[in-house]
């Protein structure tokens, strides 16, 4: 659907925002020794219109704990059959890079940055899994916007209750299922757009 007025949207420093939200193996009782990414969704959002132009989305086979816990399936909605026989993270990182190339995002004249809800995805999860499996992590994964900090800049409020609280504060209807990675990305993208429509100019604000 065509977007509403973009008149209050300011010129941004980035051509594209890549909204990313991993889901990972988990359990409520015993802490897993190493969580593994099981869903890898990324939305390519235009820095002019804040509309989604393309989607990278795959489930990922976990190898240390190949069986999802009941807790994990109930939390994320991700079933065993959705992750079995999917690519492993090493392959996904390669296909993601191919997608970036196809989308012209590796062109040095095109400026993009990731957007996540919190710092867990790119500060904790991806680095720890890459270290564990001795995988190279591309330099572009080191730049991101934590939307909770952007939300604080715009509204003055801490995003204490996370994505759901920000949606609520901004009067945005939640879409889909909470803790589905692709649905979380769509909701984070809606928050991103709402902050842009309030005249916000996004800056890198990752945890260092
Ligand atoms: P989220 O992006 O908030 O859906 O969470 C990302 C990942 O963090 C999930 O896939 C889980 O691995 C873990 N996680 C989130 N919430 C919980 C929770 N309440 N208990 C255990 N793990 C969680
Ligand atoms: Mg998340
Ligand atoms: Mg999520």
Is the pLDDT reported for residue 14 higher than 70? yes
pTM for the complete prediction? 0.96
- Average confidence (pLDDT) over 177-200: 98
Tell me how many domains the chain contains.
Answer: 1
Centre of ligand 1 from the C-alpha of residue 25, in Å: 8
Looking at every residue in the chain, the average pLDDT score rounds to 95
What CATH number is associated with residue 147?
3.30.420.10
- Average confidence (pLDDT) over 71-76: 97
- Average confidence (pLDDT) over 167-178: 98
Determine, yes or no, domain membership for 203.
Answer: no
Residue 1's pLDDT is 46
Determine, yes or no, domain membership for 185.
Answer: yes
Higher-confidence residue of 161 and 42: namely 42
Determine, yes or no, domain membership for 13.
Answer: yes
23 assigned to active site: yes
* Contact assessment for residue 39 and residue 182, using Cβ atoms and an 8 Å cutoff: yes
Residue 32's pLDDT is 77
Residue 57's pLDDT is 98
Report the C-alpha gap between 19 and 174 in whole angstroms.
16
Residue-wise pLDDT tens digits, 153-167: 999 999 888 999 999
- Average confidence (pLDDT) over 179-201: 98
Strand partners, 208: none
Residue 171's pLDDT is 97
Residue nearest to atom 4 of ligand 1 (CA): 179
- Average confidence (pLDDT) over 108-134: 97
Determine, yes or no, domain membership for 205.
Answer: no
Which segments within the chain are labelled E, that is strand?
A: 16-20, 23-24, 37-46, 52-59, 112-116, 144-146
**pLDDT confidence bin for 29, thresholds 50/70/90:** confident
Residue nearest to atom 22 of ligand 1 (CA): 26
* Two structure tokens written together for 87: 């690519």
* Contact assessment for residue 128 and residue 34, using Cβ atoms and an 8 Å cutoff: yes
Enumerate residues 6+ apart whose C-beta is below 8 A from 89. 36, 37, 40, 60, 129, 133, 135
Determine, yes or no, domain membership for 207.
Answer: no
Choose, from 36, 39, 179, 197, the residue flagged as catalytic: 179
Q: What range does the domain containing 64 cover?
A: 4-197
CB of residue 21 inside a 6 A radius of ligand 1: yes
Q: How many CB atoms lie within 10 A of CB 194?
A: 19
Q: Helix, strand or coil for residue 83?
A: helix
Is the pLDDT reported for residue 31 higher than 90? no
Residue 2's pLDDT is 46
Report the C-alpha gap between 38 and 75 in whole angstroms.
13
The Cα angle at residue 196 between residues 191 and 199, in degrees rounded to 5:
140
């Amino acid at each position: 659907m065509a977007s509403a007025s973009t008149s209050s949207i300011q010129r941004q420093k980035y051509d594209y925002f890549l909204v990313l939200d991993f889901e990972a193996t988990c359990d409520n009782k015993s802490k897993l020794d190493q969580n593994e990414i099981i869903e890898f969704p990324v939305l390519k959002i235009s820095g002019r219109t804040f509309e989604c132009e393309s989607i990278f989305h795959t489930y990922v086979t976990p190898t240390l704990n190949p069986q999802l816990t009941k807790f994990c399936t109930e939390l994320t909605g991700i079933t065993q059959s959705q992750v079995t026989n999917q690519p492993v993270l090493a392959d996904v990182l390669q296909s993601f890079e191919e997608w970036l190339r196809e989308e012209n995002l590796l062109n040095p004249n095109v400026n993009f940055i990731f957007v996540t809800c919190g710092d867990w995805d790119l500060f904790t999860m991806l680095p720890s899994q890459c270290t564990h499996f001795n995988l190279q992590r591309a330099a572009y994964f080191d730049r991101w916007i934590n939307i909770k900090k952007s939300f604080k800049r715009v509204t003055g409020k801490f995003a204490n209750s996370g994505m759901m609280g920000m949606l609520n504060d901004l009067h945005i209807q939640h879409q889909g299922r909470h803790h589905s990675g692709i649905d979380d990305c769509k909701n984070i993208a809606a928050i991103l757009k709402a902050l842009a429509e309030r005249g916000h100019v996004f800056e890198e604000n990752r945890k260092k």
